[in-house]
Amino acid sequence: MRAILMTFLLIAMTVPARAADRVVHALKITTLSTMLADTGVGEWGYSALVEVDGRKILFDTGAHPDVVLRNAKEMGVDLSAVDTVVLSHNHDDHTGGLIALRESVRRKNPRALATALVGAGIFEPRYDKSGKDMNGLTPLRARHLAEGGHFEEKAGPVEIAPGVWFTGPVPRPNAETNWNPGFKRKTATGLIDDDVPEDSALIFVTDEGIVILTGCGHAGIMNLVDDARRIAGDKPLLAVIGGLHLFAKSDAVLAASAAKMQGLRYLLAAHCTGIEATIKLRALLGLDRHTAVVAAVGSSFTLGKGIDALEIAGSPTT
């Protein structure tokens, strides 16, 4: 009996507490790069500043080297206090600002934007028809290391702060194809379509529910929701923020995506989600112009308050 008890104690010591037992208390996510711009400039890319319980994290870095830098400056955002940058996947519309941002802040704070958190396999070559490697992060890797930065590859979920989870590559039980055709990657059986296997997101566990922050959603929003619930437990969906790569998808795909997100309270849809797709999701989810919005630079979501959409995003103030 004593041996059995000791076994149970050892198991309890090696299994971490459920994610749902650790929650985020203060959270604000502000858009720094997307196509619409109420302040600064827009681009085909994505970036967001995460402020969570006194810590700041940069999620993706936009496309052009200077856009996030310019927008942050115009908005009065000091990125020198940000130690970690999360790169959701390898595409250059999410990684293009990495070097310029690191160069701009490292003299003020050598640790600023030094740690780049990425999903396992992100540096894997992606070939075009000519056989050229089109991985957007590959040309930046050596430069980031030379700037004193480093990359941390994660193969699965890791809690980076209480209630804050980096998913690592998202499992894909749902047959979603939320990526553009054209690039290939090598496997043991030969070349296959590049399905961006490293695609990762941030999950925030709160008392109000789960918040998902995604760059392009190449893993698919249905798979992201399933993964978030696997990590966070049986909590309602509070907010989905970022790009969902649904701009070219059929009404049937939008309906299936909305069905998986039923109960969602806020949608701040940016970048590759698409304007028309966002409007259709709004209707399918039973949301309105205050709670389902096309993101613009400067728009934000705050825990306990909801979405500040800005006038350009079309959310009425009265």
Beta carbons of 111 and 83 less than 8 angstroms apart: yes
Spatial distance between the Cα atoms of 45 and 218, rounded to a whole number of angstroms: 14
Host H or E run for residue 240:
strand 237-243
Largest Cα–Cα separation, the chain: 68
Q: Where are the domains positioned within the chain?
A: 19-304
| Closest C-alpha to 183, from 135, 142, 149 | 135
pLDDT tens, per residue, the chain with 318 residues: 444 344 334 333 333 445 557 999 999 999 999 999 988 999 999 999 999 999 999 999 999 999 999 999 999 999 999 999 999 999 999 999 999 999 999 999 999 999 999 999 999 999 999 999 999 999 999 999 999 999 999 999 999 999 999 999 999 999 999 998 889 999 989 999 999 999 999 999 999 999 999 999 999 999 999 999 999 998 999 999 999 999 999 999 999 999 999 999 999 999 999 999 999 999 999 999 999 999 999 999 999 999 999 866 555 544
Residues 44, 35 contacting (CB under 8 angstroms): yes
What is the CATH architecture assignment of 19-304? 4-Layer Sandwich (3.60)
**Sequence-distant (≥ 6) Cβ neighbours of residue 294 within 8 angstroms:** 36, 269, 270, 273, 275, 278, 313, 314
Helix axes 275-285, 251-260, angle to 10 degrees: 50
Structure token pair of residue 269: 């849809």
- What pTM, to 2 d.p., does this model score? 0.92
